[in-house]
Every structure is written in C-alpha cells, then in structure tokens.
Copies of this chain bind each other. A is one copy, B any other.
Amino acid sequence: MRKGRLEQLIRESGYDAVVATSLANVYYSSGALIMTQASIPDRLASVVWPARGDPVFVVCSIEASLAQRDSWIKDVRTYEEFATSPVALIADVLSKLAPAPRQVGVETRHLTAHYMDELRRTLPSVQLTACESLFDRARAVKEPEEVSRLASAAQATDKAIWESFATATPGRRERDVAADFQRRLLDSGPDMVAFCVLGSGENTALAHPYASDRVMKSGDLLRVDVGGSFQGYYSDLARTMVVGKASDRQRDVYSRLWEVHEQTIDAIRPGVRASDLYHVCAAGFERARLSFKMPHIGHSLGIGLHESPMLKPQDNTELVPGMVLAVEPLHFEPSGERYHVEDLIEVTATGHRIVSRAGKWDTLFETN
C-alpha cells in the first residue's frame, strides 16, 4: 500500500514532519484527488505528515466533502478561501506537534515563493528543506495495483491511437484525427483526456502542438504524443504513421528507429541504471545512423507525467521490480520532421514486460 511505503521513508528521513502540497504528492499520500490543485493553484491542499503521529489533511472548505469521502486520513482541517491563508493553517498544524518540529521537509519545487516566504516568516525557528526526493523514491516503485492501472490505461490509449490512425487519410484535417482519438479514448472510461499532441508534415517539427486545421496529404508524416488520466494515473504514448502511402525512405527510417527502440527496451532489467538505458539508446542511434539529440530518452510514469527515475545521463538510479518506464526515442530528419515512438514497460523480477501494445507497431502504419 502506498501509505506504508511513505510512512517508512518519512520515519527514516530524519525529518520531524514532511508537508506535501503538489497534486501528485497530496493524492499519493492522502488518496484524494483534488483536481483544482492544478487549475486553481492558490487554493492549496496539503498533507502534513509527522515522523511520529498521524497525518493531517489541510484543504479549502469547498473540498472538505471530497477529502472526507476519499481519504484514509481522518483528521481533515479546512480553511475558508480568501478569509484565511492555507499556509497559516499548515503552520498552525506544524506548530502544535509535540515535540516541536525543528526539521520540516517541504516541496520546494512546488510550493511558490509567496507561500514559502509566508511559511518561513510564520515558523522562523523551523528549518524548511526540500523533501521531493523522498516522495520521488516512494513513487518510483509501484504497488501491483498501480502497475495494473497504468497497464490498462496504456492498453486503452494504444487501442484508441491504433483505431484513430486508420481514419488519418489524405484530405482529412489534423483536428479530425485528434477528435477521433479523444472520442475513442473516452470510451475506455478515463477521468479525462490529459493531453493530445498531434502534428503532421511540417508540424511534426514542433514538440507539443495542438492539432490544427491543416489538411493532410498522402506521404505526410503524422505524429501523436497523447495521454489520459485514469483515476489520477497517466497514460503517455507516442506513435508515428504516414498518411496515405509512405516512401521507401520513410519506411526505412521508421524501421531503424523501431529496432533501436526494441534494443533499448531489451536492456531493461533489475540492476541496470537509468543512465545505462540512455547510453544503450544513444549507441543504437549511432549504429542506425539516426540523429540523436535527446536530453532524456524516457521517464517513469505514474501519478506524475515525468516521474523519477528519468532516463537521462545524470540519473544513476538502479532499476528494481515495480518501476514503470516510458521509453520514447525521437529521430529528427534534416527537414526538422520527427519520428517518435513511446511504449510503457514494467520492470519485473526477471527482466521486463511491455504493457502498452494494443496495435502492431513494428512496421510503419500507412493508410494506403
């Protein structure tokens, strides 16, 4: 259970208490998904978790009923928006802990300067330091139930991509395919379509475009990078196809990229480091004469989109069973057009398991 993992890490951390404030870490530690934490960031929600004693859930009064229904934390305290500062309530909870806390961990990469300055002023004798790495470590290894949510989210998303790609025929607009994909994804019962990046032709040169009114023609590259939110867990998959009929060069580039992709995935097993996978991928690109310019070649996936470990040269985390990795190599043509594939892989006791393939992606998809 998520609660148990976190509880142990907090006890071992040396902190007297940690304070979660981001949507992901509040959801992870409380079990309650408060969507307005993202859309209305001033309206803070927070879990104050002492090393000894029970956690307290701080929410805006408007969210109290949801917090009480969905969280296992019994002690829910509320503030009135605009009348009281959420930080005043967090500070009040901290200051009443016994013994008085001296070292408190906060999310310095989430808490804003405004709220952090207020917390520092209110608790001048408490040392406030960054504790994200504690949450990162807890979230990096998924419970079986989390893996199963992520796997079924990935399957549903891949199926929706596969089916909507069949509708990407010459004469249709980018926007039509994006809407078709989203409709199909909605059939699988996500909370939301979380993001829908789609570009064709010259628009594949953009990293994160929304679908446009561009009318597609035969031979256009089409790339998607899409995801849904399923009970707060992300799917995140990228696929590339050709509208109408592909050229021999397009088929060749895709098949070389796919081969490197498979080689990188093959290297996934316990004990390998995140940075190793980066280097395996980079070496594969060189052998395949593809253009490699990625700061990372993938990331963990969960409640967050880019979770730890990141598949980058600076991250030497050793893989362990229960990690769930999105591997996403990208090749740029001299024109700027990009080929992009992304799969989701569970690290298992003996190696790995690809959980994201509902379609058959080993050859380039065409709608000839």
Contact = CB atoms under 8 A, between A and B. Distances in A.
Contacts of A195: 35, 39, 192
A283 interface: no
A133 interface: no
Interface in A94-115: 106, 108-115
Interface stretch (A78-86, A161-169, A252-260, A346-354): A78-86
Given A35-B197, A80-B295, 18 more contacts: A33-B210, A35-B195, A36-B208, A39-B194, A61-B295, A66-B207, A66-B209, A82-B295, A82-B312, A108-B113, A108-B114, A109-B114, A111-B112, A113-B115, A114-B130, A179-B187, A182-B182, A192-B210
B295 A83 contact: yes
A191 B191 CA distance: 17
A182 B175 contact: no
Contact of A207 (B65, B194, B196): B65
A69 B336 CA distance: 13
A9 interface: no
A279 interface: no
23 contacts: A61-B295, A65-B336, A66-B208, A66-B209, A81-B296, A82-B295, A82-B310, A82-B312, A82-B314, A108-B114, A109-B113, A111-B112, A112-B112, A113-B116, A114-B130, A179-B186, A182-B186, A191-B210, A192-B193, A192-B195, A192-B196, A192-B210, A193-B193
Given A113-B106, A336-B65, A208 B296 contact: no
Contacts of A106: 113
A314 to B, nearest CB: 6
A309 to B, nearest CB: 13
A209 B36 CA distance: 10
Interface in A220-259: none
B63 A207 contact: yes
Nearest to A305: B39
Contacts of A1: none
Top 5 A-B pairs, shortest CB-CB distance:
A113-B116, A108-B114, A81-B295, A108-B113, A191-B210
B112 A109 contact: yes
Contacts of A113: 106, 108-109, 111-113, 115-116
Interface residues of A, number: 59
A36 B112 CA distance: 18
Contacts of A215: none
Contacts of A193: 182, 192-193
A272 interface: no
Contact of A175 (B38, B183, B189, B206): B189
A112 B21 CA distance: 12
Contacts of A42: 109, 306
Interface in A49-78: 61-63, 65-66, 69
A20 interface: no
A205 interface: yes
Contacts of A114: 108-109, 130
